[in-house]
Amino acid sequence: MSDNFGRKPPDLVIRGFEVFERFLDEPFQRALLNDLRKVVKAAPLFAPTTSRGKEMSVRMTSAGKLGWVSDRNGYRYDALHPQGVAWPAIPNSILNIWRAVGSENREPDCCLINFYNANARMGLHQDRDEADFSWPVVSISLGDDALFRIGNQTRGGKTESVWLRSGDVVVMGGDARLTYHGVDRIKAGTSLLLPKGGRINLTLRVVT
């Protein structure tokens, strides 16, 4: 298990999104999954809704000081899970990835955990609810392949897509920090990591 990540350049850079392919080997991915099971036990996945009451297709939960929630009152970072409990701490295995590719100077406040079944997607959006955009967002993919779309810093315009696979890590920092991005589709059956299939995406964020 390679948790001693060496410094290496990204395999791909698309519009400033740095893609580290297979950054996590399979034993590490399995260890991460074990840690995530404990997080999900303490803070179960929930179905977020938009402020208009429309259910999003991803299921989510968080670890860290703050978690991301969306309901009738809109979306926001919150210190409590919708069930009223504090979010569990971010597992060290995940923090080590942040330290390797994100920053050694500050820990993230939030690890947002998104679960995608084969039909789930995420529309193009910016991550802009954080106080300081000089910190990157680090994204970790586990399970089935996802078609990740990268747009521009404003809505519209041409986009580019890349398949993200289990173990891939993407750093969205610098000029890419406020670039629109989303997930168009999940290719079911492309990974054996999750026993029932699907995809987990983790995003590490400095919020305050």
Ligand X SMILES: O=C(O)CCC(=O)C(=O)O
- For residue 178, with 0-12 CB atoms within 10 Å meaning exposed, 13-18 middle and 19 or more buried, which class applies? middle
Indicate which single residue of 110, 183, 186, 206 sits in contact with ligand X (rule: CB under 6 A).
183
CB of 141 to ligand X, least distance (A): 6
Answer yes or no: is 181 a known binding residue: yes
Candidates 70, 139, 166, 191; binder of ligand X (CB under 6 A) is 139
Is 97 a binding residue for ligand X by CB under 6 A? The answer is: no
Is 181 a binding residue for ligand X by CB under 6 A? The answer is: yes
Q: Which is nearer to ligand X, 70 or 203 (CB)?
A: 203
Write down the least CB distance from residue 4 to ligand X, Å.
25
Could you tell me which residues come within 8 angstroms of residue 66 by beta carbon, excluding any fewer than 6 positions away? 77, 78, 79, 87, 109, 110, 207, 208
Q: Which residues contact 122 (CB under 8 A, 6 or more apart)?
A: 56, 57, 58, 114, 116, 182, 183
Q: Exactly one of 112, 138, 150, 206 binds ligand X (CB under 6 A); which one?
A: 112
Neighbours of 86 (CB within 10 A): 13
Find out whether 29 and 193 touch, Cβ atoms under 8 Å. yes
DSSP state of 134: T
- 152, exposed or middle or buried, with CB in 10 Å at 0-12, 13-18, 19+? middle
CB of 85 to ligand X, least distance (A): 21
Binder to ligand X among 18, 109, 127, 145 (CB under 6 A)? 127
Q: Which residue has the tokens 């809704």?
A: 49
Beta-bridge partners for 62: 112
* 191: contact with ligand X by CB under 6 A: no
- Shortest reach from residue 203's CB to ligand X, in Å: 4
Q: Report the nearest approach of ligand X to the CB of residue 9 (Å).
A: 21
Binds ligand X by CB under 6 A, chosen from 19, 90, 122, 150:
122
How far apart are the C-alpha atoms of 199 and 58, rounded to whole Å? 10
Closest residue to ligand X, judged by C-beta, is: 201
185 binds ligand X (CB under 6 A): no
Could you tell me which residues are annotated as the binding site for 2-oxoglutarate? 114-116, 199-205
Point out the annotated binding site for Fe cation.
Answer: 125, 127, 181
